[in-house]
Protein backbone atom coordinates (compact mmCIF):
# COMPACT_ATOMS: atom_id res chain seq x y z
CA UNK A 1 0.00 0.00 0.00
CA UNK A 2 2.82 2.35 0.85
CA UNK A 3 4.45 1.71 -2.55
CA UNK A 4 1.20 2.55 -4.36
CA UNK A 5 1.00 5.92 -2.61
CA UNK A 6 4.57 6.74 -3.71
CA UNK A 7 3.89 5.70 -7.33
CA UNK A 8 0.68 7.73 -7.52
CA UNK A 9 2.36 10.75 -5.90
CA UNK A 10 5.31 10.59 -8.31
CA UNK A 11 2.92 10.23 -11.25
CA UNK A 12 0.98 13.33 -10.18
CA UNK A 13 4.19 15.35 -9.75
CA UNK A 14 5.44 14.24 -13.19
CA UNK A 15 2.09 15.03 -14.82
CA UNK A 16 2.04 18.52 -13.30
CA UNK A 17 5.57 19.11 -14.56
CA UNK A 18 4.68 18.05 -18.10
CA UNK A 19 1.49 20.10 -18.19
CA UNK A 20 3.22 23.23 -16.90
CA UNK A 21 5.92 23.06 -19.59
CA UNK A 22 5.37 25.77 -22.21
CA UNK A 23 7.21 26.08 -25.50
CA UNK A 24 7.60 29.17 -27.61
CA UNK A 25 7.90 29.02 -31.40
CA UNK A 26 11.21 30.08 -32.82
CA UNK A 27 11.29 32.93 -35.29
CA UNK A 28 13.17 31.53 -38.32
CA UNK A 29 12.71 32.21 -42.00
CA UNK A 30 13.87 30.31 -45.04
CA UNK A 31 15.46 33.47 -46.38
CA UNK A 32 18.51 32.62 -44.28
CA UNK A 33 19.33 29.54 -46.39
CA UNK A 34 22.44 30.06 -48.52
CA UNK A 35 21.88 29.69 -52.22
CA UNK A 36 24.24 27.44 -54.12
CA UNK A 37 27.64 28.61 -55.21
CA UNK A 38 27.01 32.28 -54.42
CA UNK A 39 27.56 31.59 -50.74
CA UNK A 40 30.54 29.32 -51.23
CA UNK A 41 32.47 30.63 -54.20
CA UNK A 42 35.62 32.62 -53.79
CA UNK A 43 37.29 34.58 -56.52
CA UNK A 44 40.99 35.22 -56.69
CA UNK A 45 42.18 38.10 -58.80
CA UNK A 46 45.64 39.34 -59.59
CA UNK A 47 46.66 42.57 -57.86
CA UNK A 48 46.35 45.73 -59.91
CA UNK A 49 49.42 46.40 -62.00
CA UNK A 50 50.55 42.78 -61.99
CA UNK A 51 51.73 41.57 -65.35
CA UNK A 52 50.23 38.42 -66.80
CA UNK A 53 52.41 35.32 -66.87
CA UNK A 54 54.50 35.03 -70.03
CA UNK A 55 53.17 32.83 -72.79
CA UNK A 56 54.91 31.02 -75.59
CA UNK A 57 58.30 29.35 -75.67
CA UNK A 58 61.07 30.73 -73.47
CA UNK A 59 63.85 32.71 -75.17
CA UNK A 60 67.04 30.81 -76.05
CA UNK A 61 69.77 30.86 -73.41
CA UNK A 62 73.40 31.71 -74.22
CA UNK A 63 76.43 30.39 -72.46
CA UNK A 64 79.69 32.24 -72.04
CA UNK A 65 82.67 30.89 -73.98
CA UNK A 66 86.36 31.66 -74.10
CA UNK A 67 87.45 34.31 -76.59
CA UNK A 68 87.47 33.19 -80.20
CA UNK A 69 84.79 30.54 -79.86
CA UNK A 70 81.24 30.79 -81.02
CA UNK A 71 78.71 30.87 -78.20
CA UNK A 72 76.30 27.97 -78.14
CA UNK A 73 72.60 28.52 -77.95
CA UNK A 74 70.23 26.01 -76.52
CA UNK A 75 67.20 25.23 -78.62
CA UNK A 76 63.94 26.62 -77.31
CA UNK A 77 61.82 24.08 -75.53
CA UNK A 78 58.61 23.28 -77.25
CA UNK A 79 55.38 22.53 -75.51
CA UNK A 80 53.07 20.13 -77.22
CA UNK A 81 49.75 21.79 -77.98
CA UNK A 82 46.96 20.52 -75.84
CA UNK A 83 43.49 20.08 -77.10
CA UNK A 84 40.73 20.50 -74.63
CA UNK A 85 37.17 19.63 -75.22
CA UNK A 86 35.03 22.57 -74.18
CA UNK A 87 33.00 21.58 -71.15
CA UNK A 88 29.29 21.94 -71.61
CA UNK A 89 27.40 23.21 -68.62
CA UNK A 90 24.01 21.64 -68.12
CA UNK A 91 21.43 21.96 -65.33
CA UNK A 92 18.44 19.91 -64.26
CA UNK A 93 15.88 20.13 -61.50
CA UNK A 94 14.71 17.02 -59.73
CA UNK A 95 11.04 16.42 -58.99
CA UNK A 96 9.41 17.75 -55.86
CA UNK A 97 9.78 15.10 -53.16
CA UNK A 98 7.54 14.87 -50.09
CA UNK A 99 9.90 14.20 -47.18
CA UNK A 100 7.26 13.93 -44.40
CA UNK A 101 7.83 17.49 -43.13
CA UNK A 102 7.45 19.29 -46.44
CA UNK A 103 8.23 19.20 -50.13
CA UNK A 104 11.60 19.99 -51.76
CA UNK A 105 13.31 19.79 -55.11
CA UNK A 106 16.99 20.03 -55.97
CA UNK A 107 18.72 21.69 -58.94
CA UNK A 108 22.12 20.42 -60.10
CA UNK A 109 24.64 21.89 -62.51
CA UNK A 110 27.11 19.67 -64.33
CA UNK A 111 30.09 20.86 -66.36
CA UNK A 112 31.42 18.06 -68.54
CA UNK A 113 31.72 15.12 -66.17
CA UNK A 114 31.97 17.17 -62.98
CA UNK A 115 29.17 18.13 -60.62
CA UNK A 116 29.73 21.87 -60.10
CA UNK A 117 26.70 23.13 -58.18
CA UNK A 118 23.85 21.76 -56.07
CA UNK A 119 21.08 24.03 -54.79
CA UNK A 120 17.54 23.82 -53.50
CA UNK A 121 15.11 24.73 -56.30
CA UNK A 122 12.05 24.82 -54.05
CA UNK A 123 11.34 24.14 -50.39
CA UNK A 124 7.98 24.22 -48.62
CA UNK A 125 7.93 23.02 -45.05
CA UNK A 126 4.55 24.51 -44.18
CA UNK A 127 6.06 27.13 -41.86
CA UNK A 128 6.88 24.57 -39.19
CA UNK A 129 9.60 26.24 -37.07
CA UNK A 130 11.24 22.95 -36.11
CA UNK A 131 11.43 21.84 -39.73
CA UNK A 132 12.78 25.24 -40.79
CA UNK A 133 15.52 25.01 -38.19
CA UNK A 134 16.50 21.51 -39.30
CA UNK A 135 16.47 22.54 -42.97
CA UNK A 136 18.63 25.61 -42.34
CA UNK A 137 21.26 23.51 -40.62
CA UNK A 138 21.19 20.41 -42.81
CA UNK A 139 20.72 21.65 -46.39
CA UNK A 140 24.12 23.42 -46.70
CA UNK A 141 25.79 20.24 -45.36
CA UNK A 142 23.87 18.07 -47.84
CA UNK A 143 24.84 20.36 -50.74
CA UNK A 144 28.50 20.13 -49.73
CA UNK A 145 28.33 16.34 -49.38
CA UNK A 146 26.89 16.02 -52.89
CA UNK A 147 29.67 18.18 -54.35
CA UNK A 148 32.34 16.18 -52.54
CA UNK A 149 30.84 12.81 -53.52
CA UNK A 150 30.19 13.95 -57.12
CA UNK A 151 27.03 11.83 -56.97
CA UNK A 152 23.84 11.28 -55.00
CA UNK A 153 25.68 8.76 -52.80
CA UNK A 154 25.79 11.01 -49.72
CA UNK A 155 25.84 10.23 -46.01
CA UNK A 156 23.05 12.55 -44.95
CA UNK A 157 22.84 14.57 -41.76
CA UNK A 158 22.25 13.07 -38.35
CA UNK A 159 18.98 14.36 -36.91
CA UNK A 160 17.70 15.29 -40.37
CA UNK A 161 17.05 11.87 -41.85
CA UNK A 162 13.78 12.84 -43.58
CA UNK A 163 15.33 15.97 -45.10
CA UNK A 164 18.41 13.96 -46.14
CA UNK A 165 16.28 11.29 -47.78
CA UNK A 166 14.15 13.80 -49.71
CA UNK A 167 17.25 15.71 -50.80
CA UNK A 168 18.94 12.51 -51.99
CA UNK A 169 15.87 11.34 -53.95
CA UNK A 170 15.47 14.63 -55.81
CA UNK A 171 19.24 14.87 -56.38
CA UNK A 172 19.41 11.37 -57.87
CA UNK A 173 16.52 12.11 -60.21
CA UNK A 174 18.11 15.37 -61.40
CA UNK A 175 21.44 13.63 -62.02
CA UNK A 176 19.67 10.84 -63.93
CA UNK A 177 18.01 13.45 -66.17
CA UNK A 178 21.48 14.64 -67.13
CA UNK A 179 22.82 11.12 -67.63
CA UNK A 180 25.22 11.71 -64.75
CA UNK A 181 26.02 8.81 -62.45
pTM of the model: 0.53
Among 116, 123, 114, residue whose Cα is nearest residue 94: 123
What's the average model confidence in pLDDT over 76-95?
A: 69
Q: How confident is the model at residue 36 (pLDDT cuts 50, 70, 90)?
A: very low
Interior angle at CA 85, CA 81 and CA 88, nearest 5: 155
Residue 128 within a domain: yes
Q: Tell me the pLDDT of the chain averaged across its residues.
A: 75
Q: What is the DSSP letter of 96?
A: P
Range of the domain at 142: 86-181
Q: How confident is the model at residue 67 (pLDDT cuts 50, 70, 90)?
A: low
Asked if the structure places residue 95 within a domain, the reply is yes
Q: Tell me, yes or no, whether 47 lies in a domain.
A: no
Task: Examine residue 14 and state whether it is found in any structural domain, yes or no.
Answer: no
Total count of domains within the chain? 1
**Helix and strand element counts for the chain (H, E):** 3, 4
pLDDT: is 62 or 146 the higher one? 146
Q: What whole-number distance in Å separates Cα of residue 125 and Cα of residue 98? A: 10
Please name the helix (run of DSSP H) or strand (run of DSSP E) that holds residue 13, with its range, or none. Answer: helix 2-19
Q: What is the CATH number of the domain that holds 153?
A: 3.90.1010.20
37 pLDDT band, cuts 50/70/90, is very low
Amino acid sequence: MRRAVLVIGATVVGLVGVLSFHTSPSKLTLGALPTGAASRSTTTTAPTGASPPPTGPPPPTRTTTPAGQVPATSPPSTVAPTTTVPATTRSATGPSVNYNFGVMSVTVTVSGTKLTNVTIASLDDGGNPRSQSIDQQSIPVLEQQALQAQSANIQGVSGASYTSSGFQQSLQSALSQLGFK
